[in-house]
């Protein structure tokens, strides 16, 4: 019996030794990266930004597109959103105690921007850090030095978070009512211009539609209510929606107002004629004979005016 007991004890000891060896030599998964936010960037669905007196709320839609939901409903500036997601995923250069540096140095006495990712505690972005490209960032637990885009060096009012593209990428205009002329989508696939005297040809009509589809603001600002419109543009789309834009000025820059959202798009002055008058460089269309062909004739069988 004693021999069997000793054998069993030896067997148990061997099993324990093997288990210990396995535990000591097991592959250990790499630790999760130490990032500003504990939430992975692709899991962030809501952003709440406090900048001065402005509170901007952005949400990610089902298609992955970000939109402002407060203080207005509008498409969000993709570059601004990307900078915030980059902040969330940034790996700090240094960790410090929250109060290790004077707030006057870190900029945390009045941080220019505070961000909340989903329902996470607010994260404040302060002033420039001691190393090139770094900024002080304060989380609920620590003061960090993080290399990140210069968010605090840009305009941060609520209007600047709106997409500078005047129209969405997937917009499909079907009718453009401009100050002195109208372009209608024709059954042939091209564009019909009224009055006929304004029709300069298919190339010019198509170029006008493309000018609207690719128009981007140099800046977006809250509407200046003291300034009245000089003309109005109405854009109709394939989904039967429409949009009104007021012409506020043409020089030294073109200003178009979206009265529904209360914003002014500031564009380069040289965009006024292509957008409002169907006027484009004279070289347009010279590659084909008879450039002043009727606009209702499509440029190609697949032209869709988008």
**Nearest Cα to 219, choosing from 163, 276, 150?**
163
Q: DSSP readout, 253-266?
A: EEEEEETTTTEEEE
Instruction: Count other Cβ atoms within 10 Å, centred on residue 90.
Output: 20
pLDDT per position as a tens digit, 168-224? 999 999 999 999 999 999 888 889 999 999 998 899 999 999 999 999 999 999 999
Instruction: Reply yes or no: is the peptide bond before residue 195 cis, omega within 30 of 0.
Output: yes
Cα–Cα distance list, 295 to 13, 179, 203, 244, 290 (Å) = 91, 19, 7, 24, 12
pLDDT digits (tens, 9 = 90+) for 67-126: 999 999 999 999 999 999 999 999 999 888 888 899 888 899 999 999 999 999 999 999
pLDDT of residue 286: 52
pLDDT at 300 over 50: no
Q: Are 166 and 235 in contact (CB under 8 A)?
A: no
pTM, rounded to two decimals: 0.79
Mean pLDDT of 23-51: 76
Q: In degrees, to the nearest 5, what angle opens at C-alpha 236 toward C-alphas 234 and 242? A: 75
**Based on C-alpha coordinates, what's the Rg of the chain?**
30
pLDDT-derived band at 290, boundaries 50, 70, 90: very low
Average pLDDT, the chain: 84
Interatomic CA distance for residues 187 and 81, integer angstroms:
40
According to the model, what pLDDT value does residue 64 have?
86
Are 254 and 229 within 8 A, CB to CB?
Answer: no
Q: pLDDT tens-digit profile of 135-170?
A: 899 999 899 999 886 665 567 889 999 999 999 999
**Residue 285 predicted with pLDDT over 80:** no
């Amino acid at each position: 019996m004693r021999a069997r007991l000793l054998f069993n004890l030896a067997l148990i000891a061997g099993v324990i030794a093997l288990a210990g060896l396995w535990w000591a030599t097991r592959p250990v998964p790499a630790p999760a990266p130490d990032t500003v936010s504990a939430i992975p960037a692709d899991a962030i669905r809501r952003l709440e930004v406090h900048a001065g007196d402005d509170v901007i709320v952005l949400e990610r839609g089902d298609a992955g597109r970000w939109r402002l939901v407060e203080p207005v409903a509008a498409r969000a500036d993709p570059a601004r959103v990307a900078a915030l997601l980059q902040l969330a995923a940034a790996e700090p250069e240094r960790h410090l105690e929250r109060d290790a540096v004077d707030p006057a140095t870190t900029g945390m006495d009045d941080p220019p921007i505070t961000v909340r990712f989903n329902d996470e505690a607010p994260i404040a972005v302060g002033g420039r850090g001691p190393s090139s490209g770094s900024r002080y960032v304060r989380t609920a637990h620590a003061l960090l030095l993080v290399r990140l885009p210069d968010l605090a060096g840009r305009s941060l009012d609520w209007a600047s978070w709106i997409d500078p593209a005047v129209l969405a990428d997937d917009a499909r205009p079907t009718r453009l009512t401009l100050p002195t002329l109208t372009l209608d989508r024709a059954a042939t696939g091209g564009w019909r211009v009224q009055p006929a005297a304004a029709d300069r040809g298919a190339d010019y009509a198509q170029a006008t539609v493309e000018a609207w589809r690719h128009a981007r603001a140099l800046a977006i600002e809250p509407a200046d209510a003291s300034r009245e419109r000089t003309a109005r543009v109405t854009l109709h789309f394939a989904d039967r929606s429409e949009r009104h834009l007021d012409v506020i000025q043409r020089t030294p820059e073109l200003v178009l107002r979206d009265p529904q959202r209360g914003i002014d798009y500031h564009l380069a002055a040289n965009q006024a004629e292509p957008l409002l008058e169907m006027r484009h460089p004279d070289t347009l269309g010279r590659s084909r004979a008879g450039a002043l062909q009727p606009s209702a004739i499509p440029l190609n069988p697949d032209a869709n005016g988008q």
